[in-house]
């Protein structure tokens, strides 16, 4: 059987330590095509570039990997990869390893997960990987064996149409990681705060900041698993319909 073709992308940019580690892991499994942003794109959500042009440049290749840097968002990278760069549809798309958590509702803001979801829309089995450590020198190697195992599982078993995986890795050494737990998305959220400052010309400006309110996570959630040093794996769907509420709202009166 020929080696699988694996598309690797991220939102921290092609030079980030997290994607470099992910590339190394994927080269053990298949032929790797990297199409990733040429600069950090954190917090871009599922942004796409429709009002300006996109650039993409091949920056490296060897016998098992090919790397392109792209001026666009993570979702742009996946679209460009699939439609313009790759020789055929990839067998797997992996995004990450993100510098920082994409657990709970962070998934909504995550460029890493948007890339995975974009691949899912294109019909490609896809996984987003994130490490709960924002530091540049985070230990991206601790979970390497698990990342490889999860990727091999997806290559073997496939994923249902319209489902991708959101994998978060605790900040821990290899021997402290207890394994992989299948979880639901927690309901924890950010307590936003804006820092208000005055610029040298006397005008106000703001910095968005805040603290992560994860004290009251439910059982079975990704937050719980991570707090216990498990890797959390949440299967994610992008049909956002709230089916449970459809019957209720059908009784509302919308006549004018």
Which helix H or strand E contains 28, and what residues bound it? none
Distance in angstroms (rounded) separating the CA atoms of residues 57 and 99: 24
Mapping DSSP to helix (H, G, I), strand (E, B) and coil, where does residue 35 land? strand
Closest distance of CB 183 from a second copy, Å: 8
Site string for a second copy, 70-109 (x = CB under 8 A): -----xx--xx-xxx--------------------x-xxx
12 marked as binding residue: yes
Element (H, E) at 166: strand 163-169
Quote the least distance from Cβ 74 to a second copy, whole Å: 10
Q: Is 98 known to sit in a ligand binding site?
A: yes
Residue 121 sits in the site that holds a second copy (CB under 8 A): yes
Residue 149's φ and ψ, nearest 5 degrees, are -65, -45
Decide: 195 and 206 in contact? Cβ < 8 Å. yes
Site residues for a second copy, window 161-200 (CB under 8 A)?
162-163, 166, 179-180, 182, 184-185, 187, 189, 192-194, 196-197
The interface with a second copy within residues 4-33 (CB under 8 A) comprises none
Helix (H, G, I), strand (E, B) or coil at 21: helix
Q: Does 45 sit near a second copy (CB under 8 A)?
A: yes
User: Closest distance between a second copy and the C-beta of residue 233, in Å?
Assistant: 7
User: What gap in Å lies between CA 219 and CA 228, rounded to an integer?
Assistant: 12
* CB of residue 23 to a second copy, shortest distance in Å: 20
């Amino acid at each position: 059987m020929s080696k699988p073709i694996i598309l690797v992308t991220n939102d921290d940019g092609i030079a980030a330590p997290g994607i470099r580690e992910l590339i190394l892991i994927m080269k053990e499994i298949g032929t790797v095509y990297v199409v990733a942003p040429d600069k950090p794109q954190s917090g871009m959500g599922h942004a796409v570039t429709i009002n300006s042009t996109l650039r993409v440049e091949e920056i490296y290749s060897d016998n098992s990997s090919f790397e392109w840097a792209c001026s666009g968002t993570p979702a742009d990278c996946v679209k460009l990869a699939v439609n313009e760069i790759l020789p055929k549809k990839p067998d797997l798309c992996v995004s990450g390893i993100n510098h920082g958590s994409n657990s709970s509702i962070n998934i909504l803001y995550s460029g890493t997960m948007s890339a995975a979801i974009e691949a899912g829309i294109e019909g490609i089995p896809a996984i987003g990987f994130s490490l709960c450590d924002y530091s540049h020198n985070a230990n991206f190697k601790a979970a390497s064996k698990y990342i490889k195992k999860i990727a091999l599982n997806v290559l073997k078993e496939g994923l249902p149409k319209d489902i991708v995986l959101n994998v978060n890795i605790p900040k821990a050494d290899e021997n402290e990681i207890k394994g992989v737990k299948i979880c639901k998305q927690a309901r924890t959220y950010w307590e936003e705060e804006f820092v208000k400052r005055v610029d040298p010309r006397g005008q106000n400006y703001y910095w968005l900041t805040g603290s992560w309110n994860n004290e009251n996570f439910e059982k079975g959630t990704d937050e719980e698993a991570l707090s216990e040093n498990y890797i959390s794996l949440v299967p994610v769907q992008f049909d956002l319909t709230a089916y449970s509420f459809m019957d209720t709202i059908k009784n509302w009166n919308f006549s004018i």
